[in-house]
């Protein structure tokens, strides 16, 4: 782990805000623009009274107060990301280990769409420009991966993932490598969808934000509990899990890292088997 300047050496005490700024600057050319942008956002969100605290004076109580203040109006997942940033900044300057209590995921964050909901949404979208991207999301593609797809990435019954659309520090769209090494993959999809893409000559020509907006409109229309396009990846994992597909196959199709904690959490989520739609007819040998 990088060490900027350890407070316990008694050289020059460093305040949390300054340490955080230094850490971000040291990682600017190493981490993705999206990560750097989020780090800068977290730095801005640290109250000034905490930014001025010296690393050597930080206690568990100090950090718990920071988290408590932030958790008041942020989701649990965002709070964890905020804490991870602060923790790694502190650890660049100190060998001390801190423990804080973080909020647990609430029921809404753990929600996974049901068979009927996915079927209804796809039926409602058929014939619109949103059908293809939402359909691909149900086969495990992330929104950024869908937005970055080109016709060259499409072949019969196969979608090749080797890039993703993200935003730079100024929120300008950029094409970058996928989220993880495992994200470089080939996803099996029905021939009807790859034929449709070839026939249309386009995958999707709208904005990334519109995908969740149209999804929410349909959910509101039919009184479906709101969920984002990303939850369709969770639906894929759960579906394959209840079809008794090997874990390694599920990881390969969805682009999850081996033994992903996220994947483990998703497909062990309590869910009735009859709620799962059998969308998939896969040749497992092709992906093992």
Does residue 130 register a pLDDT over 50? Answer: yes
User: What's the confidence (pLDDT) of residue 174?
Assistant: 85
Q: What pLDDT is recorded for position 161?
A: 95
Mean pLDDT, rounded, of the chain? 84
**18 vs 158: CA distance, rounded Å:** 48
Q: Coil, strand, or helix at residue 272?
A: coil
Q: For residue 63, give the nearest of 44, 40, 47 by alpha carbon.
A: 47
pLDDT tens digits for 158-196? 999 999 988 777 778 888 888 778 889 999 999 999 999
In this prediction, residue 146 carries a pLDDT of 96
Name the least confident of 127-131, 132-136, 261-265: 261-265
CB 24 within 8 A of CB 36: yes
- Please name the residue that has the structure tokens 């229309």: 221
Whole-angstrom distance, CA of residue 266 vs CA of residue 244: 15
Question: 237-256 pLDDT, tens per residue?
Answer: 888 887 888 888 888 888 88
**pLDDT score of 281:** 52
**Domains of the chain listed by start with CATH number:** 7-91 (1.10.150.130), 115-287 (1.10.443.10)
The pLDDT, as a whole number, for residue 28 is 86
Q: What pLDDT sits at residue 110? A: 59
Strands (E), 153-224: 154-155, 158-161, 164-167, 173-176, 185-188
DSSP single-letter state for residue 152: G
- pLDDT tops 80 at residue 21: yes
- Which residues are paired to 165 by β-bridges? 175
Long-range residue pairs from 176-180, CB within 8 A, at least 24 positions apart, any chain: 176/32, 176/33, 178/145, 178/255, 179/142, 179/144, 179/255, 180/255, 180/257
pLDDT tens digit string along 222-235? 999 999 999 998 88
**Tokens 């058929």 label which residue?**
126
């Amino acid at each position: 782990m990088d060490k900027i300047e350890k407070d316990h050496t008694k050289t020059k005490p460093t305040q949390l805000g300054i340490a955080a700024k230094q850490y971000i600057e040291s990682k600017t050319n190493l981490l993705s623009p999206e990560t750097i942008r989020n780090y800068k956002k977290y730095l801005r969100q640290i109250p000034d009274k905490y930014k001025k605290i010296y690393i050597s004076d930080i206690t568990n109580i100090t950090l718990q107060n920071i988290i408590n203040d932030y958790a008041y109006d942020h989701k649990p997942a965002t709070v964890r990301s905020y804490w991870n940033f602060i923790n790694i900044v502190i650890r660049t300057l100190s060998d001390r280990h801190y423990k804080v209590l973080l909020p647990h995921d609430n029921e809404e964050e753990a929600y996974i769409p049901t068979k009927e909901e996915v079927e209804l949404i796809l039926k409602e979208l058929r014939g619109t420009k949103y059908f293809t991207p939402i359909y691909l999301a149900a086969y495990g593609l992330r929104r950024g991966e869908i937005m970055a797809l080109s016709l060259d990435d499409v072949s019969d019954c196969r979608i090749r993932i080797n890039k993703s659309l993200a935003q730079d520090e100024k929120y300008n769209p950029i094409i970058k490598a996928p989220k993880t090494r495992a994200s470089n993959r080939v996803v099996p999809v029905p021939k009807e969808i790859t034929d449709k893409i070839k026939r249309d000559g386009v995958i999707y020509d709208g904005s990334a934000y519109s995908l969740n907006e149209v999804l929410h409109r349909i959910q509101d229309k039919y009184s479906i509990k709101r969920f984002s396009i990303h939850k369709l990846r969770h639906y894929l994992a759960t579906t394959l899990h209840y079809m008794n597909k090997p874990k390694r196959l599920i990881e390969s199709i969805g682009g999850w890292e081996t033994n992903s904690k996220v994947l483990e959490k998703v497909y062990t989520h309590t869910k009735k088997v009859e709620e799962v739609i059998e969308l998939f007819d896969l040749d497992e040998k092709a992906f093992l």
